[in-house]
Amino acid sequence: MTICKTAAEMRAHRRTRRQGGRLGFVPTMGALHAGHLSLVRAAREQCDSVAVSIFVNPAQFAPHEDLDQYPRSLERDRELLEKEGVDLLFVPSTEEMYPPGSSTWVQVEGLSDKLCGQSRPGHFRGVTTVVAKLFHIVQPDCAFFGQKDAAQLAIIRRMVRDLHMPVEIVACPIVREADGLAMSSRNTYLDLEQRRAAPALYRSLVRVQKDFGGGERNAARLIGAGKGTISAEPSVRLDYFEIVDPQTLDPLTEVDRPALAAVAAFVGTTRLIDNLALPG
């Protein structure tokens, strides 16, 4: 596995491998778990070579958020990726990604204020800016993203379309723990009691799915049932529960087409997110 730390090294590597077929790319913030590795495996299956980036992007964290505490385990991550047969690992510094005086931002207007964008202003601007930079540096043919971050996926798809970026975006299913909790690097923050409570997010989505399966199409009633499941777990504090159009992220009043039920909640100080597709 080749490791590149600068955009120049990365470009030089890409120039020598230009004839090497399709390059699949998996951008991550590290602290890798089975969810990340599922993206790497999808990339391996669908592409001729695979690049992964590890970069904890300061621009997507608000000042009061967990940038400093965010788990970092580069040596372990490197070993995992090596075992998965990854060809290229890009681990830039913050200065490399944001040279002093950086003042250029990529923002998908409108979509970036929905779902997590409401409770984390500026978050998606940070995400689209760093993903655009990474795409320019890595120059992949396809990039793999988890459905776990459904709003992020919709926003990146829109950015790629609007800016004519020559990258195919591939969505991969959410990987869960045995009790349904969506895998996340932030799950490591949870103590035993919080870990026990955390699957309430998934249970709330399953409840919505069940009511939907029983014929309920009114979004407010579906959301009410989901919120009820969350409030039954006192150590979980709801941030939002929404049923939205998966492309526009606009809330639906009637679920008469494919939709996304999405939840965000705090377990202690840890903010977790999850979602499930409703077939419509």
Residue among 14 and 123 whose Cβ is closer to ligand AMP: 123
Are the C-beta atoms of 218 and 254 separated by less than 8 Å?
yes
Q: How far is the CB of 182 from ligand AMP (least distance, A)?
A: 5
Q: How far is the CB of 63 from ligand AMP (least distance, A)?
A: 19
What is the distance between the terminal CA atoms of the chain, rounded to a whole angstrom? Answer: 43
Between the alpha carbon of residue 248 and those of residues 108, 111, 158, 159, 254, the distances in Å are: 11, 7, 9, 13, 15
Residue among 273 and 278 whose Cβ is closer to ligand AMP: 273
Residue among 223 and 242 whose Cβ is closer to ligand AMP: 242
User: Rounded CA gap, 191 and 66, in Å?
Assistant: 16
36 is catalytic: yes
Q: How far is the CB of 263 from ligand AMP (least distance, A)?
A: 14
Residues 6+ apart with CB under 8 A from 139: 14, 23
Residue among 28 and 49 whose Cβ is closer to ligand AMP: 28
Q: 13, 33, 36, 123: which one is catalytic?
A: 36
Residue nearest to ligand AMP (CB): 146
SS3 of residue 142 by DSSP? strand
- In the complex, the residues that contact ligand AMP under the rule CB under 6 A are 28-29, 35-36, 38-39, 145-146, 148-149, 172, 174-175, 182-185
Q: How far is the CB of 51 from ligand AMP (least distance, A)?
A: 14
Residue among 9 and 177 whose Cβ is closer to ligand AMP: 177
Q: How far is the CB of 60 from ligand AMP (least distance, A)?
A: 9
Strands in the chain per DSSP E? 2-4, 23-28, 49-54, 88-90, 142-146, 168-172, 236-244, 259-267, 270-278
User: Rounded CA gap, 188 and 200, in Å?
Assistant: 17
Q: How crowded is residue 64: how many other Cβ atoms within 10 Å of its Cβ?
A: 6
Q: How crowded is residue 82: how many other Cβ atoms within 10 Å of its Cβ?
A: 12
- The catalytic residues are 36
